[in-house]
Amino acid sequence: MTDQKRVFSGMQPTGDPHVGNVIGALSNWVRMQDEYDTIYCVVDLHAMTAPYDPANLRRERADLAKMILAAGVDPERSLLYYQSEVPQHVELAWILSTLTGVGHLERMTQFKEKADMGGQTLGLLAYPVLQAADILIHRVHAVPVGNDQAQHLELTRDLAERFNSRFGHVFPIPERITPEIGARVMSLADPTSKMSKSDPSLKSRILLTDSTDQIMKKVKSAVTDTGTEVAFDWEDKPGISNLLEIFSFFSDRSIDDLVSEYGASGYGAFKVAVGEAVAEGLKPIRDAYEGMSDAEVGEVMASSATRAREMADGTMTFVRESVGLA
């Protein structure tokens, strides 16, 4: 790694990744490799904050690692490792937790939503502090994520500032990097809520492993709005606007351009074109995923973790000195 600016981001191995993850985050992960030192993480410790089965966790974290590599994260240019293999994340999280108010954590949106779904554990409450540690342990400058992570990034910035003013300057204040189009891809089954891995309806999201046939069916059954005109209008046409954003991403064409071509074509023809663009855009990822062996993935994960531990230990040396532990 050189002295250029650093980027960190993470993804949870809970359920298969979907097009929202690609459009909102992964595509920036891949693009930023050209400009930054890039550090990416399969955040397996975070996945333990919801009820889970150990055998599934083992499989899902390996599958997600393979998918991230298939999507274009290049081990020659980026680190990609399992969070649990770099224990400094947890050590820093403990220190940051001593600077975090419980009330602040209790008011965070994702805690309130998830606590309603499955038990208010200390792990779930402390989740955003571990996320802040993930980012700060590598002293990064930027974090590519979707809009749903805005509150977590604000807490991270707050904690970095609080630490620096209490103990001396250790952490840069990281910027959130969100795409202009597709920062919040919506569910195909309900365009007023976010496309999410935890949605019980499989029709709500397109998975990176879906076949062309499955993609076409899901797009055709996507909930759309009254009327027939294809227009970009989140107020009156959230279903069509969501499909337009997805289409724009996979076709690399502007929304205006798509609206002028499909405005009067009717929803049916429009949906076929969207489905085809998504299937075509995902095919290289699916092919790369199928062509990669578990052993290859294992090697990348192990060697990245070794390097990430060294880097994280460098930060912890400063942190331990700053807080009076060395």
**Residue among 106 and 261 whose Cβ is closer to ligand TYM:** 106
* Structure tokens given for 111: 């805690």
Piece of 6-14, 163-171, 241-249, 286-294 that binds ligand TYM (CB under 6 A): 6-14
Residue 77 in contact with residue 33, Cβ under 8 Å?
yes
Q: Which of 5, 141, 162, 184 binds ligand TYM (CB under 6 A)?
A: 184
CA separation (Å) from 275 to 16, 252, 260? 19, 14, 18
With CA atoms as reference, report the closest residue to 95 among 312, 310, 306.
312
Confirm whether 217 is a catalytic residue. Answer: no
Considering only residues 77 to 136 of the shown chain, the ones binding ligand TYM according to CB under 6 A are 131, 134-135
Query: Active-site residue among 5, 66, 112, 114?
Result: 114
Q: Does 9 bind ligand TYM (CB under 6 A)?
A: yes
Q: Does 24 bind ligand TYM (CB under 6 A)?
A: yes
Considering only residues 224 to 263 of the shown chain, the ones binding ligand TYM according to CB under 6 A are none
Query: Where on the phi/psi map is residue 133: left (φ > 0), alpha (ψ -120 to 50), or beta?
Result: alpha
16 burial level (CB within 10 Å; 0-12, 13-18, 19+):
middle
Confirm whether 203 is a catalytic residue. Answer: no
Residue 24 in contact with residue 242, Cβ under 8 Å?
no
Q: Which of 16, 85, 148, 225 binds ligand TYM (CB under 6 A)?
A: 148
CA distance 315 to 317: 5
Confirm whether 66 is a catalytic residue. Answer: no
Residue 210 in contact with residue 150, Cβ under 8 Å?
no
**Residue among 24 and 275 whose Cβ is closer to ligand TYM:** 24
Q: Does 174 bind ligand TYM (CB under 6 A)?
A: no
Which sequence positions are flagged as catalytic?
A: 114, 194, 197
Binding site residues, ligand TYM, CB under 6 A:
8-12, 20-21, 23-25, 43, 46, 131, 134-135, 143, 145-146, 148-149, 152, 183-185, 194-195
